[in-house]
Amino acid sequence: MFENDHNENGMENTQFDSQPVNDELSVSGVENVTKKGRGRKAALIGGISAAVVVGGSATAYAASDTVKNQVKLRLSSPEEYYAWVTENNSKNLGQILSENYKKSIDNMEKGTDAKFKLSFEPTQNAKDMLIDEVFGGKSNEETKQFEDIIKNNDSIGIAVDCSSKKGKTEGSFGLELSDKRVVGIDAAIDADTMDYFVRIPELKEQWIGVSLGETMDELMSDEEANAVLQTYKDIMNDPASFLSPEELETEVNRYAGVWGNFAEEVKLEKKESVDICDITVNYTVASVKLTEKDTVKLGVEFLKELKDDDIIRDIVVDKIKAVDDKSEYKDSINDALDELKEQLEEDDFDEDTVFTVNTYIDPTGTIRGFGFEAEEEKLTMVLGKDGKDVRGEMKFVSDGEEEFSVKLSAEEEGKDKYSGDLTIEYPKTSYDYDEDEGKMRSNTETQKAVIKFDEFEVVDKEKGYFNGDFVINIPDVDPIDLSFSSDGKQQEVSYEIRFDGTDYGKLKFAYSVDYGTSVDVPSKDSAFMVDVKDADNFKLEEYATQDEFNKFAKGIMTQVGIDDKTADELAKYATEEIFDAADSGLDINDDDFDWDDDDFDFDDEDREEKKTTSSAFDDDDDDYSFNFEFDPSQFKYEDYKDFMTEEEFNEFVEEMKKYYDEYSSTAGSSATTTKKAS
């Protein structure tokens, strides 16, 4: 996390330690007359000493980031120092992004093979609850075999194997019981030709395919649309031809440099004490204040850089062809520049609005955080280390009140191994109806979610494998225990499902990634190809017969433990249902919605009929009573949370109360209370 460790002052001073002087080389202050030989010797020694000092200092400067930073800090103006820090950090960022991008491209060239598996291992208690829920506690000979399926299987899961290389992808999705595959679906895609294939191998080895590429070529006569489609294909096949890793690094440095060089007035606070959670570190804090006018000036500088950016221009003009030529590219940027320059000439800006950017710089010159301030709002993100204590903090403050925060508190237990917690504090607003004032009142409280982690350790940075035990504590929710483990070959995650003190089982997820594979996309010649334009006429039996499907369905059922007789009956029923549905299709025409004027011919006769039949009471009836008073407190959000947000619920209650008040005031007391029964 922190690459450089330093002493209390953040400096490595070993190169400045005093060294003992050899007596033979010392010269008394009164012995100022020497022989020629001794003079030459002294001159030689002096020259060597000077060379050692200069060379040693140069080596120390070149080797120590701390020394470089301190020299720059002391010898440069605030603006020069800030530009130097920005440039160095952007270089590091550019290198990291470039290297990761290059690895991604290399892996795509090699081919990526990924495996995923999600499984659930229920407890015996969970199995009993499921059996009781499904069969209602009534067990007989017919249900016993289905109960045994639940009882005899230790797990149920979904396994996915997926391989991709240069725009081609193939994958397999399988349902498993007790780690044995029951049935699955295979799929394959060729992104270049836009061919898609699918099959159920347990049903039939032959693939079903559709070729969207050929269809799109016919449907998309628009040259621009075809160009976009072709660009997408080219990027998928060779992303580096659009933006190489080296070009990505150049772009990061280019636009970071615009910001670094733009800062004309930089205020530096050296060895500023910065509180991060419960530790205090000394950072150099560089502050840049921007007015509304400054932001427009900054936009001008970015556009100037963009206009001369050959990399972006070539992508926009030549590669994705977003504009016709280089002249149009420059003209569009010049138009934007003219608009900003016109704003600067008008000089109609609010000078009272100031936006401040604070940059936190450690003794090595590494940026450890940022702060952004605007009027009464402030966002801070900063990371620090004191000995083995690692702290990080992100917080948003508005009008002096902390609205939101994320705080990291960790202890370094070894190389790349940490234990600690991540605390997230956020506001939660609840609403209650105040009967005295007759309106809804809001109450905002700070909620705290805590993620505790123990022995978090990265095993493989490139593949993202790591070890660690995590406990997630969320208000009003049972703690969630997650265990991450890796042997370097795959990542495993397990979750003990527990609610209200009851254990239901273990949910497990595992994945692995490897590089260097081949991908085979099925041939359209051997596949059962479906014409997209004629898909409505697709007949399932042309691909698989009813006998084949019946055999497939029965095979699955007997495999999971259903007896032959029951499997025969269920397979026959499933086959008939599926083939009937496939043959009938969706035949929707205008007759299904055949309404005419007569359907809406509601006249006085209809009204009279409705009046005589709509109610058993008429105006003369006084033998019943109806008392109604609207009470908002009877409405609880819990009853409505599946249909609306809490904010919508509160608006709904307020609206109902408003209608009730209006109705009551208009209709008088009779609107809510009628005569009581005699």
Across 47-193, the runs of DSSP E, i.e. the strands, are: 112-122, 156-165, 168-177, 180-190
Tell me, what's the pLDDT at 220? 56
Angle at 471 between CA 468 and CA 477, to 5 degrees: 155
Section 448-467 average pLDDT: 95
Phi-psi sector, 482: left (phi>0), alpha (psi -120 to 50), beta: beta
Label residue 260 exposed, middle or buried (CB < 10 Å: 0-12, 13-18, 19+).
buried
Q: How confident is the model at residue 323 (pLDDT cuts 50, 70, 90)?
A: confident
Give per-residue burial for 91-125: e unless 16+ CB within 10 Å, then b: eeebeeebeebbeeeebbeebbbebbbbbbbbbee
Q: Pick 614 or 162 by higher pLDDT.
A: 162
Give me the chain's average pLDDT, please. 82
Beta partners for 258? Answer: none
Section 40-46 average pLDDT: 47
Tell me, what's the pLDDT at 306? 95
Closest CA to 477 of 507, 497, 452: 497
Six-digit token pair at 414?
A: 């070894």
- Cα Rg of the chain (Å, integer): 37
Assess contact for 162 and 173: CB atoms under 8 A: no
Closest CA to 473 of 509, 510, 422, 512: 422
Phi-psi sector, 175: left (phi>0), alpha (psi -120 to 50), beta: beta
Section 620-626 average pLDDT: 47
Model confidence at 607: pLDDT above 90: no
Tell me, what's the pLDDT at 186? 98
Rounded Cα–Cα distance for residues 258 and 86 (Å):
10
Q: What is the pTM of this model?
A: 0.70
Model confidence at 213: pLDDT above 80: no
Section 565-592 average pLDDT: 74
pLDDT, tens digit (0-9, with 9 covering 90-100), for 232-263: 778 878 889 999 999 999 999 999 999 988 98
pLDDT, tens digit (0-9, with 9 covering 90-100), for 62-88: 456 788 888 888 888 999 999 999 999
Q: How confident is the model at residue 54 (pLDDT cuts 50, 70, 90)?
A: very low
Six-digit token pair at 293?
A: 């006018």
Percent of the chain whose predicted confidence (pLDDT) is above 70: 79
Q: How confident is the model at residue 300 (pLDDT cuts 50, 70, 90)?
A: very high
Six-digit token pair at 190?
A: 């060729």
Assess contact for 87 and 69: CB atoms under 8 A: no
pLDDT, tens digit (0-9, with 9 covering 90-100), for 516-540: 999 999 999 999 999 888 878 888 8
Pairing of strands 439-460, 417-434: antiparallel
Tell me, what's the pLDDT at 594? 45
The H or E element that residue 396 is part of is strand 389-398
Six-digit token pair at 630?
A: 């609207």
Section 653-663 average pLDDT: 78
- Listed in sequence order, the DSSP H helices in 193-288 are 212-219, 223-237, 245-262
Q: How confident is the model at residue 565 (pLDDT cuts 50, 70, 90)?
A: very high
Assess contact for 365 and 72: CB atoms under 8 A: yes
Closest CA to 486 of 505, 513, 522: 513
Q: Pick 218 or 352 by higher pLDDT.
A: 352
Six-digit token pair at 108?
A: 């795509």
Q: How confident is the model at residue 216 (pLDDT cuts 50, 70, 90)?
A: low
The H or E element that residue 313 is part of is helix 310-314
Q: Pick 59 or 134 by higher pLDDT.
A: 134
Assess contact for 372 and 295: CB atoms under 8 A: no
Q: Pick 567 or 216 by higher pLDDT.
A: 567
| Euclidean distance between the first and the last CA atom of the chain, given in angstroms as a whole number | 84
Assess contact for 268 and 361: CB atoms under 8 A: no
Tell me, what's the pLDDT at 623? 47
User: CB within 8 A of 230, min separation 6: which ones?
Assistant: none
Domain ranges of the chain: 597-671
pLDDT, tens digit (0-9, with 9 covering 90-100), for 479-507: 999 999 999 999 999 999 988 888 999 99
Angle at 137 between CA 131 and CA 143, to 5 degrees: 65
Q: How confident is the model at residue 18 (pLDDT cuts 50, 70, 90)?
A: very low
Model confidence at 586: pLDDT above 70: no
Model confidence at 139: pLDDT above 80: no
10 Å Cβ neighbour count for 253?
A: 17
Main-chain dihedrals φ then ψ at residue 620, nearest 5 degrees: -85, -10
Beta-carbon-side half-sphere exposure of residue 83 (alpha carbons within 13 Å): 13
Pairing of strands 367-374, 354-361: antiparallel
Main-chain dihedrals φ then ψ at residue 423, nearest 5 degrees: -110, 125
Section 11-29 average pLDDT: 35
pLDDT, tens digit (0-9, with 9 covering 90-100), for 120-131: 999 999 999 999
Assess contact for 495 and 97: CB atoms under 8 A: no
Tell me, what's the pLDDT at 622? 47
Rounded Cα–Cα distance for residues 588 and 583 (Å):
14
Model confidence at 442: pLDDT above 90: no
Tell me, what's the pLDDT at 376? 86
Closest CA to 265 of 78, 83, 81: 78
Q: Pick 29 or 383 by higher pLDDT.
A: 383
pLDDT winner (highest mean) among 71-80, 313-322, 463-472: 463-472
